[in-house]
Structure formats: structure tokens, C-alpha cells
Amino acid sequence: MAVAEARRLAPGQGARLFADTLSAEEALAFGLVNRLVADEEIDAFVDGWARRLAAGPPIALSMSKKLLNNSAAVSMAQALEDEARCQTVNFTTEDTREAMRAFAEKRDPNFVGR
């Protein structure tokens, strides 16, 4: 469990994670998962999620993931500085220009990772 998730647990609940098997509902309540999906819906859910991620802007998604993963380990000032740096880089990419063109032309963007 990551430090960020551990901090969200109520006092005394963290030890329970080492001793008990949690139900899906408990994992959701503790913030260890972000949603529950029925067994019969999991393949369609994963396929849809993968398609949305694959169609997204790879540079911006990569930066967002890095910022989120680092968020618990840095100060607010450092997080804001990191965000500003990533936005500066992101706004110079071909993908950002493509997103603006696609929006203006009312069409889906075609991101290329540049």
C-alpha cells in the first residue's frame, strides 16, 4: 500500500489490512480501489478504459501520471512548480495543437505523442 492510501485510513485500520482479507466494498471504502465492476462486465469495462487511454494524448497522460505518483512525496510548493513545468512542456507539443484544431473543427483528435 502506498503512503497516500495509508494516510486516508482511519487510525487503527491500517493494521487490519495485514490481518484480514477485505471485501471489494471495504477496499472501495478505504480508497484502495476507485470503482467496483461486476464480473460479467469486467471485460467490456477494461476494453473501454484501454481504448480511452490509448486514444488520449500520451505526453500529457504520462506527465499527469508522474505528477500524481509524486504528489504524496512533495510539498505543495514543489507540486505547483512541477505542474507549471509540465504545463509549459505540454503546451509546446504537436498533440496540444492537434487537440485545439480538433476542438475547433468539432472532431475527435488524433494524438501522435509529439
Written as tens digits, the pLDDT of the chain (114 aa) is: 444 555 566 656 655 666 678 889 988 887 888 899 999 999 999 999 999 999 999 999 999 999 998 888 899 999 999 999 999 999 999 999 999 999 999 999 999 999
- The confidence score (pLDDT) of residue 54 equals 92
- The confidence score (pLDDT) of residue 1 equals 45
Q: Residue 63 contacts by C-beta under 8 Å, 6 or more apart in sequence?
A: 86, 89, 90
Distance between start and end Cα atoms, the chain: 34
Q: Per the confidence metrics, is the pTM higher than 0.75?
A: no
- The confidence score (pLDDT) of residue 56 equals 93
The runs of H, that is alpha helices, within the chain are 3-8, 16-19, 24-30, 42-55, 58-70, 76-90, 94-104
- The confidence score (pLDDT) of residue 21 equals 80
Euclidean distance between CA atoms 31 and 9, whole angstroms: 8
